[in-house]
Amino acid sequence: MTSTNHLLIYVSSLPCDAEFRFEVDRQIALSGALGCGLAWQSDFAEYDWVLVKRQIEQADAFLLLLGEEYGPTTPTGISYQHRELVHAQSLHKPVYYMMHTSMDGHEAADIRLNELRQQVRAQVSGKIWHLKDELTVHVKTLLKNWKRDVQSLRMMGAPPAVPARAVAPVISSKIALKAVPPREQIELITQGNVYKGGNLAPKVVKIPMKTDRIWRSIQPLLRLGTSEDRLRSHMEQVITGEVKNRLLSDNPGSHAVDGVRIERNQFRNILDGWATGGFVLNKAQGARTIWSLPD
């Protein structure tokens, strides 16, 4: 994380999408944020995974600009972009995609690209666009949602600027000093669509979970300030693999699982408990409630 007061966004793209990458970078700059990440061209330099990993780890958020080519691959056969996406997800970064598809809606000729598109759409929030004007609008909207009080992002771990007695009376000084909510063991109620013999059936499964894992996963989003739906959607991405494996194991003969969801009321109760303890704040913003970390 940088020491400046600017949101740092890692943009993953290919050289063939240079025109669209420029537009994304331009919108990031206009919003007052900073972009990083290189569209690697082997003619100029070999792909440097160590550098790429460091940039992703330093960034506050990850934006996947997925075009109409699969791109170069690692020795294991996975594309550079796919590898970068997986690494960002493993760090529980806020992740979003901008996917370019043809106007006729036809799938790409490259099977690998079609599979990547399906996987990304199943696991990550994002937008599909056809014209550059659409991309511009989508990026502007995304940046508005991401770019909150970035000053608070850089204050993590800094000494408080106001004495404890000056804290608003609704939060005691003891609570204000807490940084991490206590860990509790729960059974997270989830649901997924199980496909078996050409039929689909929603199935519920309870996943053993410690609440500190949920906290670590959504903390980057809380730093930015975001809605409950986005927090829950991000956590659903994190646990999708576990839920799929469990449902496939519990339902012999099934061949696929999608549409993983977390029970809304249980997730809201977790957030409400953290709010009561002073670990998170909720503030009405129009018709939505925005959840964030205390200043």
In order of their start, the domains of the chain are 8-151 (3.40.50.10140), 163-292 (no CATH)
For each of the chain's 295 residues, which pLDDT tens digit applies?
444 568 899 999 999 999 999 999 999 999 999 999 999 888 889 999 999 999 999 998 999 999 999 999 887 788 899 999 989 988 888 899 999 987 665 666 778 888 888 888 888 889 999 899 999 999 999 998 887 544 444 444 343 333 333 333 333 333 343 478 999 999 999 998 888 876 778 899 999 999 999 999 998 889 888 889 889 999 998 898 899 999 999 999 888 888 899 998 999 999 999 999 899 999 887 777 899 998 7
What does the chain look like in DSSP terms, one character per residue? --SSSS-EEEEE--GGGHHHHHHHHHHHHHTT-EEE-----TTT----HHHHHHHHHH-SEEEEEE-S----B-TTS-BHHHHHHHHHHHTT--EEEEEE--TT-PPPS-HHHHHHHHHHHHHSEEEEESSHHHHHHHHHHHHHHH-S-HHHHHTTTPPPSS-GGGS-TTS-HHHHT--SPPP-EEEEEEEEEEEETTEEEEEEEEEEEEHHHHHHHHHHHHHH-EEHHHHHHHHHHHHHHHHHHHHHHHSTT--EEEEEEE-HHHHHHHHHHHHHTTS-EEEEETTEEEEE---
pLDDT of residue 77: 82
The pTM score is 0.53
pLDDT of res. 69? 92
